[in-house]
Structure 1
Amino acid sequence: MKQWIIILSLISTCCLFLPTAASAIAVSPSRQTIVVAPGSKTTVEITVINDENENITVFPEIQSFEIDEQTGETHIVDVTDQKEWFHVEEETKTLEPEEETKFQIQITPPQQTEPGAYYVALFAKKQGDGGQISVGTRVGSLLFLYIEGKIHEQVTTEIFSTETNWFINDTLPLTLKYKNQGNIHSIPTGNIILTDRKGNEIQKEEINKEQTKVLAGGSWEREFIFSHIGIKYIGPLYVQANMNYGIEQKTVHNVIKIWYIPKMIITGVIICGILFCIGIIGIRYAKKTS
């Protein structure tokens, strides 16, 4: 358990903030990490402060969050199966200006819950006049919840390809996508190297230089562009992706082969072909008229 607390704390410390509209509600902490055994009970709390100049009524709201695989931004999604794990004693609280209160949230994962990481956003939401929800007025805290059990780290390659296996321009776009098949978040890092047929490096790009976290079950996808590839590299080229992830720094290695035929060469061949045909026609015409 101690290992999990250290891992999750480090990851959550440098990870993610909830995108929210400007609000007169303040919530703390901004993020927290807990480890819970299946079938056991634990309690977390969020502190809510009324920064307005009038009384307000607030209530807790629980949702999941995920990370966009292409932008790395946090998105809130509806809680499904995990919603039944959470229970709040007091559904609403009324606060005077500058007053603060705490919501106690009890978490009870079922005994049969599979080990792994779950990602939850704990919101405090303002209630408007007449009991209506005040749209856009909510602030949240990120909860990294891990259910005790065996750590399983596995990141696989879903996409590693170019549009075609040959290209004529001096620019080569390439798509790389990883899938986190494990039960804890991972940070894939490494590099992509473009080499010639002799293995000489042409260009290198860094994988995930933003250090984006890939949540359990999530994906990471980016497009890389190799540009200004010289005409001297005509022929077969190789793109190698070397990625490391996890506590044990596991490695994923991928290689693809592509052919570079510069447009200048193709244009030259076409011109030579045309000139050759013109020459043949000219020779035949000269023979007929002589």
Structure 2
Amino acid sequence: MEMLFSYLREGKIGHTQAADFFVVLHKIILTVLSIRLVLFCLLASNSTRLHKSYKYNIGRACTVFLCCVSIFSPTSLLFASEMGLSLTIAPPLFQINLQPGETWSSYITVVNNNQYDLSLFADPVLFRPSGESGSPVFITPTAESEESSTLAGWITVPQEAFSIVREQTYKLPLTITVPNDAAPGGHYAAILIGNRSPEGRGVEGNTVNVTSSIASLIFLSVSGDVIEKGQIRDFATEEMVYDTATAKLSLRFENKGNVHLIPQGNIVIYNMFGKVRGTIPINQQKDYGNVLPNSVRKFSFTWESDTGLWDIGRYKAEATIGYGKDAKQSALATTYFYVLPVVPLLQIVGGLLALVFFVGWVLRLYIRRALALETAHLQMQGDFQTAHVPQSKYVATEVPRIKLGTLVQPIKAGLIDLRRVGTPAREVIEPDVQAVYMSHHQQHTEVLTFGTFLYKYWLFFVSVVVVAFGGFVLSFFFEDVMTVTRDYSVTEVRPDGSTIELQEE
């Protein structure tokens, strides 16, 4: 057992293999003890020579022993002492600028967070991004020429194992020597620190299995003919139409140069009236969003706005990216999406159609009344001319036409009725209007009450209320959509599925 723990500390076997071994051993021990307990109980129950209390005490002792074995088994001890391998390194990332032929030295601080001593190894390896997530894949150089021409071969670290006392730190020295003929641009490597030697670390092809290791990344930029060139390869939303003010956006940035880039910028979201509804910061954490040469990095975001009922329609998302150290460059991209909530949209369209239909219906009734008043006026004029013209002459009645004077006739009639409230009509109507008015109203001279006046012109008052309410709703609509600022939230979705709340910077 002590030899097994010694191999585990030295990295000759992995924690996974040790855990599997002890789990199997634990199951075998429990199975054997259970079988022995069952056999003993069967034999004891068939034996007439054993005292009853003696049988009970033996059975209870076996049960207690079995429980103790389960609790204090080697598997539990292993999980408590050896499975919690925890290491911390600082810094996790070096970003260095060197000249050809220059030498640079530093150290990595390794912290043993475990309750036992560790024997660790350090190994320089290459790495490349995995897909568009930016996660590193570590690669061992396959030939001496490749090792000498890559950053992993320029790094010098102690080859032998180093020990760290529990809950203590160790400073691992490292030196980078850049060859005189080093190619300008970016070079990338990592220092793997783990409890396995480089020879014992699992390798699949050229890819290193780092299940028991932790890495410190090194980004080296060699001066010379450095090319900083990038572009926004794609910028779009996950869907074209959303039923709420929520959108999932993704931006893919491609590095076409020979040195790593840190694209930074913002995505500004506008509603259909040009008002800002959100600002999404892009890659403000410099240690996270490096884009290596000849690779694509994808940034995903979720935008959610506290949009009002009326703030719907087409939205525009405009991305502005800046990158480069020697010469600051920029890239622009624009995409569009629609926020069309079904129920509010149906309410808005239905309300507008109902308002238009109602206004049109009221206007038709108003024009009919105006024409009726004009017709009565023309008939009065015709009767007057007939009374003063000889019978031999024919007097033609003029056809009423829609003109400004005709359209104001209902308003005049309404004002006359309003003045007539509580007073006989002949006392309030001017002589030049009285004849026409009386001809249409059949010379009603009784007093018009206020209630009768409201009942007579109820459609007019309802129309005024409806139009006023429609105007209020429209003004509220424009005031709502023209609001300068509105609350919103932005979440960045990392490749591993985790999310980070972002704040505008």
The whole-number CA distance in structure 2 between the counterparts of 1:55 and 1:173 is 45
Alignment of structure 1 residues 257-276 onto 2, 5 Å? 257-268=336-347
Residue 30 of structure 1: how far off its partner (Å): 6.5
Query: Is the alpha carbon distance of 1:224 and 1:66 closer, same or farther for their aligned partners in structure 2, counting shifts above 3 Å?
Result: farther
2:147 aligns with 83
Question: Does 2:272 align with 1:193?
Answer: no
Gaps of 5+ in 1: 1-20, 273-290
1:236 CA displacement: 2.5
Which amino acid letter does the alignment assign opposite residue 223 of structure 1? F
Rounded Cα–Cα distance in structure 1 between residues aligned with 2:251 and 2:263: 12
Give the corresponding residue for 2:123: 61
Deviation of residue 240 (structure 1)?
A: 0.9
Q: Aligned partners of 2:319, 2:155: CA distance in 1, in Å? A: 47
Q: CA deviation at 1:107?
A: 5.0
Map 1:135-214 onto structure 2 (within 5 A).
141-211=216-286, 212-214=288-290
Stretch moving more, 89-98 or 226-235: 89-98
CA contact (8 A) 1:125 1:137 kept: yes
Task: Note the residue ranges of structure 2 that are not aligned, 5 or more in a row.
Answer: 1-84, 203-209, 352-505
Please provide the CA RMSD for this pair. Answer: 4.5
CA distance in 2, matches of 1:124, 1:182: 31
Corresponding residue number in structure 1 for 2:318: 240
| Match in the other structure for 1:14 | none
Task: Give the TM-score, by structure 1 length.
Answer: 0.61
Shift of 1:171: 1.9
Give the count of matched residue pairs: 243
- Give the structure 1 partner of residue 160 of structure 2: 93
For residues 256 and 43 of structure 1, the distance between their equivalents in structure 2, rounded to whole angstroms, comes to: 45
Identity %: 18
Provide closer, same or farther for how the CA distance between residues 152 and 197 of structure 1 changes in structure 2, counting only shifts above 3 A: same
Measured in 1, the distance between the counterparts of 2:270 and 2:92 equals 45
Measured after TM superposition, the shift of residue 120 of structure 1 is 0.9
CA deviation digits over 1:77-96, x for unaligned, max 9? Answer: 11457534317899843668
2:98 — aligned with what?
35
Q: Which residue of 1 aligns with 2:328?
A: 249
SS in 2 for 1:93: coil
Q: Give the TM-score, by structure 2 length.
A: 0.38
Deviations 1:177-196, CA, capped at 9 Å, x for gaps: 22222333333222212212
Q: How far has the Cα of 1:243 moved from its partner? A: 1.9
Identify the residue that residue 215 of structure 1 maps to in structure 2: 291
More strand as a share of residues: 1
1:227 — aligned with what? Answer: 305
How far the C-alpha of 1:209 sits from its partner, in A, is: 3.4
Structure-2 change in CA distance of 1:151 and 1:174 (3 Å): same
**Structure (1/2) with the larger helix percentage:** 2
One-letter code of the match for 1:61?
D
User: Is the counterpart of residue 22 in structure 1 residue 86 in structure 2?
Assistant: yes
What is the CA deviation profile of residues 210-263 of structure 1, one whole-angstrom value per residue up to 9, with x for unaligned ones?
Answer: 333313224142223233333423333211112222224322111123333221
Aligned residues of 1:69 and 1:221 also touching (Cα < 8 A): no
**What is the distance in 2 between the residues matched to 1:50 and 1:229?**
48
Preserved contact between residue 62 and residue 83 of structure 1 (Cα < 8 Å)? no
Deviates more, 1:101-110 or 1:177-186: 101-110
Equivalent residues of 2:130, 2:137 under 8 A apart: no
8 Å contact from structure 1 (residues 66, 215) kept in 2: no
Following TM superposition, by how much is the alpha carbon of 1:161 offset from its aligned partner in structure 2, in angstroms?
A: 0.7
